[in-house]
């Protein structure tokens, strides 16, 4: 599975995601499925811009994101 660090995010955001056990694309998509965008935005230091950047990066790589956002 692709590591989120491969999406070109800054080290700061990768560290925040990693500290919250979101290391791979599968981890991120699972979190989105479980708690939606709000679950990601609850992470201290992660805002709408970063969330959008991650989602765009995943979509350009062909990942299907949950529709219940």
pLDDT at 19: 98
**Environment class of 11 (CB within 10 Å of its CB; exposed 0-12, middle 13-18, buried 19+):** exposed
pLDDT at 1: 87
- At 9-54, the pLDDT tens digits run 999 999 999 999 999 999 999 999 999 999 999 999 999 999 999 9
Please, which pLDDT band fits residue 69 given cuts at 50, 70 and 90? Answer: very low
Please, which pLDDT band fits residue 68 given cuts at 50, 70 and 90? Answer: low
pLDDT at 30: 97
pLDDT at 12: 97
């Amino acid at each position: 599975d692709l590591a989120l660090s491969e999406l070109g995010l800054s080290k700061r955001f990768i560290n925040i995601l990693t500290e919250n056990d979101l290391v791979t694309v599968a981890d991120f998509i699972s979190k989105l499925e479980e708690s939606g965008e709000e679950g990601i935005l609850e992470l201290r230091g992660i805002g709408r811009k970063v969330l959008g950047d991650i989602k765009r990066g995943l979509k350009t790589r062909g990942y299907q994101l949950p529709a219940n956002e």
